[in-house]
């Protein structure tokens, strides 16, 4: 391979990359040394805004394979035949920690998948938990503030966390998962992923189904206790990156099985619980898991920044056959995630290498940051729509079935919702050792929290299961 010549960003060969230009051997430096300025200016711009949430992440490319036929539920091309394979990108993350945070902290994990389908990108932007702390995006900024740093101390605050949770009973289900064993998975390969929200499928006959998405680890669940996580973080802050990178580079490709739960459209009016409430699961007994396929991660991107830091996942990216649902939290994220990427990466972020649809993107959005691609080269006159110059047109065949909506517009609370049964069901599923670790994990995280906030939270544990409240009291030495 012939060695390339070092050049300026303008492509001109560089004759000396070791010394700046000085007046005489002892300096000073001349301002005309533009390459010195250029190097320093580039260094100043090496960072882009980190994600406000999910800043610390680990990712890889992979392949999704259909193993079972679900075409009666959805016409999405990705599922069109058994054996079909679709390239994909996965990014896992913690939620609250900044970009330099340690990997093995107790936190929910992001579980984001981008499928490069033949009809555009489908982004499945989920978590390693089937539920979330809140059911309404209106509360999201407040909730995240409690997970981040206090404005004066610049420290994270147990008081803020428990104050918010104790005043938000809907959080109890997720609080229970977070402080259970699954709150610190050993590696990203040893955890499940869930779409968490309710989405929708529609088929060729125009029938809609509500759907929950489950991705079960084939590596098995593995977790760290608080002590193990402290030790791991003491030795390395990058345990997840090391594990994922190490496994894939060695050819140990991690795999997940993909299942769905399916609810016919009309049934949503009859379920005891609101099936669009992100703080609830659909019990498996009511809606059993249906196998769809599996994916494996098999390639580490050649450049982390290009392919993982620039990866922009958004629930707004759906494809024909897959749609949204009335889930309030999902609807807030549809706006919020894409908007975060416009801010963080720039207007045309969808054309960056990890985000660019392999099937092509033909739209009439015009200029702005990163407009480095042409419109339609064969017909440059087609730069608005409708036009008479053979520009891209809509395809009415792909219309989603209409969604029936009734009810008066208002800011509805969910005061009559049951926030306790499912949290209690989860608690009752734990064996004695798991319960003891749950009590201990909660007690440790309540250090320094004012008594009246602890009392309010204990009432919530009692409401889920009296044994739950009793166990936490004991761990607190009450
Ligand atoms: P099931 O007994 O059918 O399902 C319980 C599920 O809980 C399991 O399938 C497993 O889901 C998950 N689970 C098992 N052990 C743990 C653990 N230590 N920590 C966290 N999750 C665990 O009952 P239901 O479907 O009626 O659900 C009962 C409770 O289980 C729910 O209230 C919810 O908290 C929890 N759960 C339910 C899920 C669902 O979609 N129905 C999914 C996950 C949890 P998995 O195989 O996905 O790991």
Say how many CA atoms lie within 13 Å of 347 toward its Cβ.
9
> Which tokens hold the place of 120?
């555009």
The per-residue pLDDT for range 416-443, each reduced to its tens digit, is 789 999 999 999 999 999 999 999 999 9
Q: pLDDT tens digits, the chain, 478 residues: what are they?
A: 899 999 999 999 999 999 999 999 999 999 999 999 999 999 999 999 999 999 999 999 999 999 999 999 999 999 999 999 999 999 999 999 999 999 999 999 999 999 999 999 999 999 999 999 999 999 999 999 999 999 999 999 999 999 999 999 999 999 999 999 999 999 999 999 999 999 999 999 999 999 999 999 999 999 999 999 999 999 999 999 999 999 999 999 999 999 999 999 999 999 999 999 999 999 999 999 999 999 999 999 999 999 999 999 999 999 999 999 999 999 999 999 999 999 999 999 999 999 999 999 999 999 998 898 887 777 889 999 999 999 999 999 999 999 988 889 999 987 678 999 999 999 999 999 999 999 999 999 999 999 999 999 999 999 999 999 999 999 999 9
Rounded CA-CA distance 339/245 in Å is: 30
> Which tokens hold the place of 316?
């707004």
| Interacting residues of 300 by C-beta distance below 8 A, sequence separation 6+ | 60, 61, 244, 245, 248, 249
Give the atom of ligand 1 at the shortest distance from the alpha carbon of 284: 25
Give the atom of ligand 1 at the shortest distance from the alpha carbon of 430: 18
Rounded CA-CA distance 19/8 in Å is: 15
Q: Which of 17, 42, 44, 127 is catalytic?
A: 127
Domains of the chain: 57-131+184-356 (2.40.180.10), 421-476 (no CATH)
Quote the mean pLDDT of the chain. 96
| CB of 281 sitting under 6 A from ligand 1 | yes
The per-residue pLDDT for range 121-135, each reduced to its tens digit, is 999 999 999 999 999
Answer yes or no: are the C-beta atoms of 318 and 362 closer than 8 Å: no
Active site includes 127?
yes
Q: Which of 42, 44, 54, 197 is catalytic?
A: 54
| CB of 391 sitting under 6 A from ligand 1 | no
Give the atom of ligand 1 at the shortest distance from the alpha carbon of 282: 41
Helix (H, G, I), strand (E, B) or coil at 391: coil
Cα 327 to middle of ligand 1, angstroms: 21
């Amino acid at each position: 391979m012939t060695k390339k010549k070092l050049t300026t960003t303008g492509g001109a060969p560089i004759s000396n990359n070791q010394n700046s230009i000085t007046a005489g051997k002892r300096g000073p430096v001349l301002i005309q040394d533009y390459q010195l300025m250029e190097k320093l200016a580039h260094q100043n711009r090496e960072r882009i805004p980190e994600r406000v949430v999910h800043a610390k992440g680990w990712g890889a490319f992979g392949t999704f394979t259909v193993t079972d036929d679900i075409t009666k539920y959805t016409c999405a091309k990705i599922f069109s035949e058994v054996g079909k394979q679709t390239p994909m990108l996965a990014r896992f993350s913690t939620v609250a920690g900044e970009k330099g945070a340690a990997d093995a902290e107790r936190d929910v994990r992001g579980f984001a998948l981008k499928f490069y389908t033949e009809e555009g990108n489908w982004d499945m932007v989920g978590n390693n938990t089937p539920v979330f702390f809140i059911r309404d995006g209106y509360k999201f900024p407040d909730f995240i503030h409690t997970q981040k740093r206090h404005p004066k101390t610049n420290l994270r605050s147990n008081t803020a966390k428990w104050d918010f949770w104790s005043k938000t009973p809907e959080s109890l289900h997720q609080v229970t998962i977070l402080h259970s064993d699954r709150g610190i998975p050993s590696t990203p390969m040893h955890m499940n992923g869930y779409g968490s929200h309710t989405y929708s499928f529609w088929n060729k006959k125009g029938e809609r189904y509500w759907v929950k998405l489950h991705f079960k680890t084939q590596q098995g669940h593995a977790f760290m206790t608080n002590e193990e996580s402290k030790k791991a973080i003491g030795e390395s802050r990058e345990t997840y990156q090391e594990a994922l990178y190490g496994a894939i580079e060695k050819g140990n490709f991690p795999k997940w099985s993909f299942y769905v739960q399916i609810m016919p459209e009309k049934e949503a009016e009859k379920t005891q619980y609101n099936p669009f409430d992100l703080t609830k699961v659909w019990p498996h007994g009511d809606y059993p898991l249906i196998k769809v396929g599996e994916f494996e991660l098999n390639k580490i991107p050649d450049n982390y920044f290009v392919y993982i830091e620039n990866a922009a996942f958004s629930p707004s990216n759906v494809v024909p056959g897959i749609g949204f649902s009335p889930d309030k939290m999902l609807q807030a994220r549809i706006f919020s995630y894409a908007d975060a990427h416009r801010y963080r990466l720039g207007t045309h972020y969808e054309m960056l290498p990890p985000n660019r649809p392999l099937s092509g993107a033909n739209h009439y959005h015009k200029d702005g940051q990163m407009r480095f691609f042409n419109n339609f080269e064969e017909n440059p006159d087609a730069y608005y729509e409708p036009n008479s110059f053979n520009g891209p047109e809509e395809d009415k065949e792909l219309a989603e079935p209409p969604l029936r909506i009734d009810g008066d517009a208002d800011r509805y609370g969910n005061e009559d919702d049951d926030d306790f049964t499912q949290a209690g069901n989860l608690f009752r599923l734990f064996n004695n050792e798991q319960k003891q670790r749950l009590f201990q994990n909660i007690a440790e995280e309540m250090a320094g929290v004012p008594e009246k906030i602890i009392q309010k939270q204990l009432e919530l544990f009692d409401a889920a299961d009296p044994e739950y409240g009793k166990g936490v009291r004991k761990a607190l030495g009450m």
